[in-house]
Amino acid sequence: MGLRDIYWKIIRAKAIPQQGSVDFGDFRRLKPVGGNWGLDRGLPVDRYYIENFLNLHSQDIQGDVLEVGDDRYSRQFGKDRIQHLDVLHYQKGNRQATIVADLRNADVIDSNRYDCLICVQTLQYIYELKSVVETLHRILKPGGVLLATFPGITSLGDNSLSGNWCWAMTSLSGRKLFEEMFSADNLEVKQYGNLLSATSFLQGLATDELRAEELDFCDIAYPVIISVRAKKEAGPSI
């Protein structure tokens, strides 16, 4: 064994704790440090990734826009590029909602209606994913863009929606799902996260408790968020 091999053996031995010597510290607990994905401590880790994704594609948020749930991201990233904004909710009671509809069909919405759709952290609550993607494709104008995110590694949260959680996704399953309606050339699928950010997210820590380089490092083995940018083909409607 040469000196270089000995050197790296020593480095690895120091970097990796031996069995039985791992110090769990504050993470040796059966309940998370924070509740509801870290909302009680600041900006949740998954929202850091979601906002980075939407900021990257902010120019797509323009014209006639539909956002699912509320209008916060449309207004934050679309600003004066938006000409008309609708908010969709699946049941009555959401004061921001201008449309009450089920994304599995949503026949109250005309085909080829919107330039941009924002569907953030919604698909995991709907079992019939194929029907949802068909609806999203149908209501986009030719040339329109869908910006969607869904969870990979996550807790289910401790709110009323946790009992309706159906799916967690990977880059592969997300791509295969959307390729059923959108051409591969018009589809961008990306994942965000790493071991540290995933662990911190599961523990309910907030973005400010990690450094930027720790959040921005991507490890394909630990997807916290999967993002999809899907563009409907221009030309005659299908």
Question: What confidence tens digit (pLDDT) does each residue in 129-153 have?
Answer: 999 999 999 999 999 999 999 999 9
Which conformational region is residue 200 in: left (phi greater than 0), alpha (psi within -120 to 50 degrees), or beta? alpha
Backbone torsions φ then ψ of 66, nearest 5 degrees: -125, 125
* CATH number of this structure's domain 57-191+225-231, picked from the four choices 3.65.10.10, 3.30.1490.100, 3.40.190.10, 3.40.50.150: 3.40.50.150
Backbone torsions φ then ψ of 107, nearest 5 degrees: -70, -5
Q: Of the candidates 192, 232, 188, which has an alpha carbon nearest to the alpha carbon of residue 216?
A: 192
Q: Considering only residues 83 and 15, tell me which one the structure prediction assigns the higher pLDDT.
A: 83
Query: Domains of the chain: which residue ranges?
Result: 57-191+225-231
Q: Is the pLDDT at 238 greater than 60, yes or no?
A: no
Taking the C-alpha atoms of residue 52 and residue 197, their distance in angstroms, rounded to an integer, is 15
Beta carbons of 33 and 44 less than 8 angstroms apart: no
For residue 153, give the amino acid letter: I
Beta carbons of 188 and 150 less than 8 angstroms apart: no
**Mean pLDDT throughout 159-180?**
91
Taking the C-alpha atoms of residue 58 and residue 48, their distance in angstroms, rounded to an integer, is 15
Tell me: the pLDDT tens digits for 1-45?
666 666 556 555 557 777 788 888 999 999 999 988 999 999 999
Name the range with the highest mean pLDDT among 12-26, 93-107, 160-174, 193-207: 193-207
Question: For 69-81, b where at least 16 C-beta lie within 10 A, e where not — what string?
Answer: bbbebbeebbeeb
Tell the burial category of 215 from Cβ atoms under 10 Å away from its Cβ (0-12, 13-18, 19+): buried
Question: For 177-197, b where at least 16 C-beta lie within 10 A, e where not — what string?
Answer: bbeebbeeebbebbbbbbebb
